[in-house]
Chain A
Amino acid sequence: MSKMSVIDVKNVNFIYGKKTPYEVHALQNISLSIKENCVTGIIGHTGSGKSTLIQMFNGITKPDSGSIFVDGVDIWEKPKEISKIRFKVGMVMQYPEYQLFADTVWDDIAYGPKNMGIPEDEIKERVETAAAFCGIDSEIMTKSPFDLSGGQKRRVALAGIMAMRPSVLVLDEPAAGLDPRGRREILGGICKYQKESGTAVVIVSHSMEDMAKYCDELFVLAKGKLILQGNCKEVFSEGELLRSAGLDVPEIYGVVRAMRHKGVDISKYIYTVNGAVDAIAELLEGGVR
Chain B
Amino acid sequence: MALDITLGQYYGTGSVIHKLDPRAKLLFVLFFIVSIFVAKDIYAFGLLAIVVILSLIVSKVPIRLVLKGLKPLVFIIIFTSVLNIFLSRGEELLFTKEIIPGFWTVNLYKEGLINAGLLAMRIIILLMGTSVYFSYATTPIELTDGLERGLGFLKKIKVPVHEFAMMMTIALRFIPTLVDETSKIMNAQKARGADFSSGGLIKRAKALIPIIIPLFVSSFRRAEELATAMECRCYHGGNGRTRMNVLKMKFRDYVFIILSMAMLAGVILVNIYANGFKLM
The verdict on B224 contacting chain A, using a C-beta distance below 8 Å, is: no
Interface residues of B, count at CB 8 A: 24
The verdict on A99 contacting chain B, using a C-beta distance below 8 Å, is: yes
Evaluate contact between B65 and A20: CB separation under 8 angstroms.
yes
Per CB-CB distance, the 8 closest pairs between chain A and chain B, nearest first, are A115-B193, A99-B188, A101-B213, A112-B192, A91-B191, A93-B188, A101-B210, A60-B187
The verdict on A100 contacting chain B, using a C-beta distance below 8 Å, is: yes
Q: Which residues of A contact B (CB under 8 A)?
A: 16, 20-21, 55, 58, 60, 83, 86-87, 90-93, 96, 98-102, 111-112, 115-116, 146, 160-161, 164
In the assembled complex, which residues on chain B have CB atoms less than 8 Å from the CB atom of A100? 214
Evaluate contact between B192 and A111: CB separation under 8 angstroms.
yes
Evaluate contact between B62 and A101: CB separation under 8 angstroms.
no
By beta carbon, the residue of chain B nearest A87 is B193
Nearest-neighbour CB distance to chain B for A55, whole angstroms, equals 7
Nearest-neighbour CB distance to chain A for B190, whole angstroms, equals 6
By beta carbon, the residue of chain A nearest B209 is A101
Q: Quick one: given A100-B214, A101-B213, are A60 and B62 in contact (CB under 8 Å)?
A: no
8 chain-A/chain-B pairs, Cβ below 8 angstroms: A21-B11, A21-B62, A60-B190, A98-B185, A99-B192, A112-B193, A115-B192, A115-B193
Given contacts A96-B188, A111-B192, A115-B192, 7 further A-B contacts (CB under 8 A): A55-B187, A60-B187, A86-B190, A99-B189, A112-B192, A115-B195, A161-B192
Query: Could you tell me which residues of chain B, from 190 to 210, have a CB within 8 Å of some CB in chain A?
Result: 190-195, 209-210
Q: A21, A96, A115, A160 — which one has the most chain B CB atoms within 10 A of its CB?
A: A115
In the assembled complex, which residues on chain A have CB atoms less than 8 Å from the CB atom of B194? 115
Q: How far is the CA of A101 from the CA of B190 in the complex (A)?
A: 14
Q: Quick one: given A20-B65, A21-B62, A99-B185, are A111 and B210 in contact (CB under 8 Å)?
A: yes
Evaluate contact between A164 and B192: CB separation under 8 angstroms.
yes
Q: Quick one: given A87-B193, A116-B193, are A98 and B214 in contact (CB under 8 Å)?
A: yes
Nearest-neighbour CB distance to chain A for B167, whole angstroms, equals 25
Evaluate contact between B213 and A160: CB separation under 8 angstroms.
no
Evaluate contact between B191 and A86: CB separation under 8 angstroms.
yes
By beta carbon, the residue of chain B nearest A111 is B192
The residue from A16, A90, A115, A146 contacting B217, defined by CB atoms under 8 A apart: A146
Nearest-neighbour CB distance to chain A for B191, whole angstroms, equals 4
Nearest-neighbour CB distance to chain A for B178, whole angstroms, equals 13
Q: How far is the CA of A20 from the CA of B185 in the complex (A)?
A: 25
By beta carbon, the residue of chain A nearest B194 is A115
Q: How far is the CA of A91 from the CA of B68 in the complex (A)?
A: 34
The residue from B62, B195, B213 contacting A83, defined by CB atoms under 8 A apart: B195
The residue from A20, A146, A161 contacting B191, defined by CB atoms under 8 A apart: A161
In the assembled complex, which residues on chain A have CB atoms less than 8 Å from the CB atom of B65? 20-21
Q: Quick one: given A21-B62, A60-B187, A99-B185, are A164 and B214 in contact (CB under 8 Å)?
A: no
